[in-house]
Amino acid sequence: MAETQAATEGTQSEGLSPELRSKMALALDVDDLVQATRFARQLAPWFGVAKIGLELYTAAGPDAVGAMIDLGFDVFLDIKLHDIPTTVHKAASVAGSLGVSYLTMHAHGGAGMLKAGVDGFNEGALSAELPAPTALAITVLTSDADAPEHIVPARLRVAVEAGCGGIVCAASDLKDIREMAPRTLRVVPGIRAADGDRHDQPKAVTPSEALQAGADLLVVGRAVTLAEDPAAAAAALFGAL
Q: Name the site residues for ligand C5P (rule: CB under 6 A).
A: 27, 29, 53, 78, 142, 168, 189-191, 199, 201, 219-223
Instruction: Identify the active-site residue in 80, 90, 115, 175.
Output: 80
- Tell me the closest approach of the beta carbon of residue 140 to ligand C5P, in angstroms: 8
Residue closer to ligand C5P by CB (options 162, 205) is 205
Q: Which residues on neighbouring strands pair with residue 104, listed in sequence order?
A: 136
- Tell me the closest approach of the beta carbon of residue 143 to ligand C5P, in angstroms: 8
Residue closer to ligand C5P by CB (options 84, 226) is 226
CA 68 to chain centre: 14
- Tell me the closest approach of the beta carbon of residue 162 to ligand C5P, in angstroms: 19
CB 38 within 8 A of CB 71: no
- Tell me the closest approach of the beta carbon of residue 159 to ligand C5P, in angstroms: 15
**What stretches of the chain show up as alpha helix (H) in DSSP?**
5-9, 18-21, 33-43, 54-60, 62-70, 85-98, 111-127, 151-161, 174-180, 207-212, 222-225, 230-237
Report the distance separating Cα 114 and Cα 162, nearest Å: 6
Residue closer to ligand C5P by CB (options 58, 86) is 58
Residue closer to ligand C5P by CB (options 24, 93) is 24
The answer to whether residue 51 is catalytic is no
CB-nearest residue to ligand C5P: 221
Report the distance separating Cα 70 and Cα 62, nearest Å: 12
Active-site amino acid positions: 80
